[in-house]
Amino acid sequence: MKANKQNIRFTLACFMTILLITSCVWQIIVVNNREAKKTNTYEIDIDNDGIIDAVVEGKLTVLAQEKEAPIGQKILVRISHYNPALGGVNCLTFVDGQCVSPMTNGQDWKDWIDKAIACPAELPFETKIVINGREWVCKDRGGAVVYDGVAFWVDQLTATPEYPYGTTLEAVAYIP
């Protein structure tokens, strides 16, 4: 008889836990999407960091979402550098010994030496990246400047490299 009561208590505890979890998920959905009844699609921010962790459609079909670095988010960067004044792969259009190409955002690279950085498309223009206390601004793109699933490759616009090619460091990204 004792074993039977324990089984019943265990089953009841499991059932109550499932109800509690379901209730919490529903509350998260409702809190994060006031339009839930109209759209039948819910955005869930599980850790309340401002990034949508999942989207729920219909009867709890969860779709994974890629995360982007939120404001003030620590990220890993792999560093390289470029100097358009050298021509070659550093400059798209090199005429009479001068780089006449603007950066991808249209601005003159000469105004941004030691301040601009080429960033992958996952980081929008004007994103500020602080590396070891120094602020760089995303102003350019590049073919080798990608997010590799672990770190964001960034290309510092500078005549003198601060770090050896491929150095991986922790940085802080501030997305506009």
Q: Is the dihedral of CA 147, 153, 156, 159 positive or negative?
A: negative
Q: For residue 167, give both structure tokens.
A: 């150095």
| Separation of alpha carbons 114 and 125, rounded Å | 16
What digits encode the pLDDT tens for the residues 11-70? Answer: 444 444 443 344 444 343 333 444 333 445 555 555 556 565 555 444 443 444 455 545
Query: According to CATH, what is the number of the domain 73-174?
Result: 2.40.40
Q: Rounded to an integer, what distance in angstroms lies between the CA atom of residue 42 and that of residue 32?
A: 7
Q: Is the pLDDT of residue 176 over 60?
A: yes
139 has a pLDDT exceeding 80: yes
User: What is the average pLDDT across 69-87?
Assistant: 88
- Stronger pLDDT, 81 or 6, i.e. the higher one: 81
Query: Strands 73-82, 134-140: parallel, antiparallel or unpaired by DSSP?
Result: unpaired
Whether the model pTM is above 0.75: no
Of 106, 125, 111, nearest in space to 173 by CA:
125
Residue ranges per domain, the chain?
Answer: 2-64, 73-174
> H or E stretch including 30?
helix 2-32
Ramachandran region, residue 149 (left: φ > 0; alpha: ψ -120 to 50; beta: rest): left
